[in-house]
Amino acid sequence: MATSSSAIAIEDVKTGEVTETVYEHPFLVRLCHWVNAVSLFVMVGSGLQIFRAFPSFGAKIPQEDLVNWPKALALGGWLGGALQWHLTFMWIYVATGLLYVVYQIFSGNYKQVLFVRRDLPGVWPMVRHYFFFGPKPLTKEVYNPLQKHAYTSAIGLGVLSVLTGLAIWKPVQFSWLAWLMGGFHLARLWHFLIMWALLAFVFGHLVMVILHGWNNFVSMLTGWKKDPEYDSE
């Protein structure tokens, strides 16, 4: 079922031990994943430094700060420096995001990730397994329905982060986009909230990688996964 999960057996030259290994992630996917992850980190850090210049979503007069965000958790040192990081890495962020989506579509690899209607019934059993100690549902695919849901949502959030950012950066040239978001002022709030939604995804993603072990992590580096848990035909 899963498109790229053709398993091969690898024999260890010394021990003669044979492990089943599956090629899960093509090079372009891994490239985009890591470069995008780094650029997301830079975008969040510099974005928070930009936010520090006016940490509010209300009026300038009187200004009521939402939070005094610590400088140590921000990137760029000052507003101008942070804008340089933000305006440089946004291109890398967008480029890797676009390359990923285009590659996924044309290679057919998107089937591995895209959450579709037939995944819907599988969501609840996975939630029950993860959060309520339910039995582990069997899956024949690389990703279970809940994973697909998370990844598809994250990609959607990525698109929204770019669109809201564009509305803030160019509220005149893309005035229709800002208008769709309720104007420049609100677009800035959406941009901020979407960042937190993305961070929530990253947090959950990292927790799952840690819980689920080393194999998953390695497969995103090398493309290959040893002893996959799913039945790889």
Minimum distance between the CB of residue 96 and other proteins, rounded to whole angstroms? 9
CB of 137 to other proteins, least distance (A): 22
Cα gap 192→28, rounded to integer Å: 29
Rank residues 18 and 105 by Cβ distance to other proteins and give the closer one: 18
C-beta closer to other proteins: residue 151 or 169: 169
Under the rule (CB under 8 A), what is the footprint of other proteins?
A: 7-11, 13, 18, 20, 27, 31, 34-35, 38, 42, 50-51, 53-54, 56, 59-61, 63, 79-81, 83-85, 87-91, 169-173, 175, 178-179, 184-185, 188, 224, 233
Rounded to the nearest 10°, the torsion over CA 91, 94, 97, 101 is -120
Terminal CA-CA length for the chain: 8
- For residue 164, the minimal CB distance to other proteins (Å) is 13
CA 55 to CA 188: how far, in whole Å?
Answer: 11
Burial (Cβ within 10 Å: 0-12, 13-18, ≥19) of residue 39: buried
**Which residue lies nearer to other proteins by CB, 48 or 146?**
48
Least separation in angstroms between residue 171's CB and other proteins is: 5
Comparing CB distances to other proteins, the nearer of 8 and 116 is: 8
Q: Which is nearer to other proteins, 21 or 147 (CB)?
A: 21
Query: Please, are residues 43 and 89 in contact by the beta-carbon 8 Å criterion?
Result: yes
- Shortest distance in whole angstroms from residue 35 CB to other proteins: 5
Phi-psi region of 110 (alpha: psi -120 to 50; beta: other; left: phi over 0): alpha
Give CA torsion, residues 178, 181, 185, 190, to 10 deg.
-120
What's the min distance (Å) between Cβ of 170 and other proteins? Answer: 6
81 vs 137 by CB, closer to other proteins: 81
Q: Are 216 and 210 in contact (CB under 8 A)?
A: no
